[in-house]
Amino acid sequence: MTTPASSATLSATRSLSAMDLLKRYGIWLVAAAVMLVLPKLFTSGAALTTMCLMGIMIVFSLSYNMLLGQTGMLSFGHAVYYGLGGFLAVHAMNGIAGGKLPIPLPVVPLVGGVMGLVFGVIFGAVSTRRAGTVFAMISLGLGELIASLSLILRGFFGGEEGITANRTKMLTLWGVRFGPQIEVYYLIAAWCFVCVIAMYAFTRTPLGRLCNAVRDNPERAEFIGYSTQMVRFITFCIAGFFAGIAGGLAAINFELMNAINVSGGQSGTVLLMAYIGGIGHFAGPILGAILVVLLQVFLSDLTGAWMLYFGLIFIAMVVFAPGGMAGLIMLHLPLAKRGNLHRILPWYGLMAIPAVLGLAGLIALIETAHHQLVKTATEGPAMKLFGLSYASNTVLPWLLALALIAAGLGLGRVWGPKFASAFSDAAHGSK
C-alpha cells in the first residue's frame, strides 16, 4: 500500500516516486493506449459502433454506481439525467447549427452534463431527503413522471419519433467535422477517459469517502459531523452531471434522442450493467457496460430470445456472484498473490465439462421452445441448432436437452464441492 506513513522521510518518498508514479498511473496509460489502438484492431463499422456505445455506457454506468455502489442509493430513475442531458444536447446542436454559433461539437456533452446537473439538483433535493426504500420509490416515481412527460411535451421530446440533429453542421476545428464514425469514436473515447478519471478521483476525496461511510452506516455518519442527506444530495447531483455527459455523448453518436432514452427500460439497463459488472469495485460497472453492450449487440443478432438470456445472466449473477464480474476477478486475487493460479487451472478445465453440457442443454431448451412458440406459425417446425437440423415439435430434442441439463447439474454436484475445496486450499490453505 502507498500510504503516507508519518515516519517516512522525504528522501525515502522521493526515491520511491518514479516506481510509485508508474504503479499509480500506469493503469491509466494502459487504458488510454487500449482506447487509442482498439479501432485499429477492430476496423469494421459494426465494431466501431459497438465501441462507441461502450464508451457512452461506461460513463453512464459509472455515474450510476456513484449512487448504488458507493453511497448505497438504489435508483430506478437514473435514465432521467442521461436522457434529459441527451435531449438538451440535441437541441443545443440544432441551436448552434441554426444560429451558426462558434461552438465546436466536442463541448456539446458538457451541455448534457449541465442539464443532468440541473435536474440532479431539482430532483435530488426532493428524493435524497430519505434513503433506502423511500429513495428508491421516489426515483421510480420521478422516472415514470419524466418518461410520461416525454410523450406529452412533443416540442422538447419530439414524441414517438424523437428529435434529430446533425453533428457535422457545427463549427469545424482543424478540419475535423465528425462525419465519419471513427472521429466520433475518438471524441467519445476522450470524454470517456476524462470522465472515468474524474469519477475515480471522486472516490478519493473526503466526500467520496463519506459516501462509503453513509452507505455502510448512515447513523454513525451523523455522529461524526456529517449530514447524510447532504452527502446523498451532492453525490446525486454529481452523478446526474456525469449521466448527462453520457447522454450528450449518446446524442452526438446517434444524432437522435427519443422517449426510450428517458424510459424506465433505460434506467433498468444501467442498473443491470452496474450490477453484473460488480457494484463493490470501481471498475465493476466498466466491465458490466462492456459485457452488456456486447450482449445487446451480438446476442440480439444470434437469437430472438436474447432478452431471456440477458435476464438469466442477471439472475445467475445475483444468486451466484453478487459481487459481479469484478467480484469474481477479486476472488482470484489471493491465489495470484500466492502464485497458486496454476493450481486451479486443471479444475477449471474439469468444471468446463458440466458447464458446457448444462449450458448446451439450456440453450437447446430455450431455442427449441422459442422456435416452437414463436416461429412455427410462420416458418414451420424445422430448425437448426449447433449444426443439427431437427423439428421443434418432436419429443427427442426436448429429451436430449433435458438430459444434457441433468448431466451438467449432476456432474456439477459431484465435482463442485471438490472444486470449491481445491480453490479455497489454493487461496488460503498450505502450499
Partner 1 sequence: MTALALNDIHKSFGITPIIRGVTLDVKKGERHAIIGPNGAGKSTLFHLISGRFGVSSGQIMLHGEDITGLKPYEINRRGLSRSFQVTNIFPKMTVFENVRCAVLWHMGYRYSFWHNVRKLSGANERAEAILQQIGLADRREFPAGMLTYAEQRALEIGITIAGGAEVVMLDEPTAGMSRSETAHFVNLIRKVTEGRTLVMVEHDMGVVFDLADRISVLVYGQIIASDTPVNIRANKTVQEAYLGQALEAEH
Of 121 and 400, CB closest to partner 1: 121
Spell out the residues 6+ positions from residue 429 whose beta carbon is closer than 8 angstroms to its own.
Answer: none
CA distance 155 to 153: 6
Q: Which stretch binds partner 1 (CB under 8 A): 2-10, 149-157, 338-346, 395-403?
A: 2-10
Interface residue with partner 1, options 41, 98, 223, 342 (CB under 8 A): 223
Instruction: Find the angle CA(107)-CA(94)-CA(171) to the nearest 5 degrees.
Output: 50
Q: Which stretch binds partner 1 (CB under 8 A): 89-97, 227-235, 250-258, 366-374?
A: 227-235
CA quadruple 210, 292, 249, 194: dihedral positive or negative? Answer: positive
Question: According to the binding rule CB under 8 A, does residue 6 interact with partner 1?
Answer: yes
Could you give the C-alpha distances from 15 to 30, 38, 55, 355, in angstroms and in order? Answer: 24, 35, 37, 50
Interface residue with partner 1, options 213, 313, 329, 355 (CB under 8 A): 213
How many residues touch partner 1 under the rule CB under 8 A: the total is 33
Question: According to the binding rule CB under 8 A, does residue 230 interact with partner 1?
Answer: yes
Coil vs helix vs strand at 130:
coil
Question: According to the binding rule CB under 8 A, does residue 216 interact with partner 1?
Answer: yes
Of 78 and 232, CB closest to partner 1: 232
Question: Quick one: DSSP state of residue 223?
Answer: T
Question: According to the binding rule CB under 8 A, does residue 1 interact with partner 1?
Answer: yes
Of 40 and 204, CB closest to partner 1: 204
* CB-based contact 236:128 (threshold 8 Å): yes
x/- map, 48-87, partner 1, by CB under 8 A: ----------------------------------------
Question: According to the binding rule CB under 8 A, does residue 238 interact with partner 1?
Answer: yes
CA quadruple 248, 117, 133, 142: dihedral positive or negative? Answer: negative
Q: Which stretch binds partner 1 (CB under 8 A): 38-46, 226-234, 246-254, 396-404?
A: 226-234
Interface residue with partner 1, options 95, 121, 171, 222 (CB under 8 A): 222
Of 3 and 133, CB closest to partner 1: 3
Of 4 and 98, CB closest to partner 1: 4
Task: Give least dist CB 323 to partner 1, A.
Answer: 12
Task: Give least dist CB 224 to partner 1, A.
Answer: 4
CA quadruple 92, 96, 99, 103: dihedral positive or negative? Answer: positive
* CB-based contact 102:87 (threshold 8 Å): no
Interface residue with partner 1, options 164, 212, 303, 393 (CB under 8 A): 212
Task: Give least dist CB 65 to partner 1, A.
Answer: 15
Question: According to the binding rule CB under 8 A, does residue 330 interact with partner 1?
Answer: no
Length of the chain equals: 431
Spell out the residues 6+ positions from residue 259 whose beta carbon is closer than 8 angstroms to its own.
Answer: 147, 150, 151, 157, 159, 160, 162
Question: According to the binding rule CB under 8 A, does residue 166 interact with partner 1?
Answer: no
Of 91 and 215, CB closest to partner 1: 215
Question: According to the binding rule CB under 8 A, does residue 408 interact with partner 1?
Answer: no
| Burial track 202-220 (b if 16+ CB lie within 10 A, e otherwise) | bbeeebbebbebbbeebee
x/- map, 172-211, partner 1, by CB under 8 A: -----------------------------xx-xxxxxxx-
Coil vs helix vs strand at 257:
strand
Could you give the C-alpha distances from 3 to 13, 18, 24, 165, in angstroms and in order? Answer: 11, 16, 12, 49
Task: Give least dist CB 289 to partner 1, A.
Answer: 23
* CB-based contact 247:84 (threshold 8 Å): yes
CA distance 381 to 368: 9
* CB-based contact 215:70 (threshold 8 Å): yes
Question: According to the binding rule CB under 8 A, does residue 314 interact with partner 1?
Answer: no
Of 144 and 222, CB closest to partner 1: 222
Site of interaction with partner 1 (CB under 8 A): 1-6, 201-202, 204-210, 212-213, 215-217, 219-227, 230-231, 234, 238
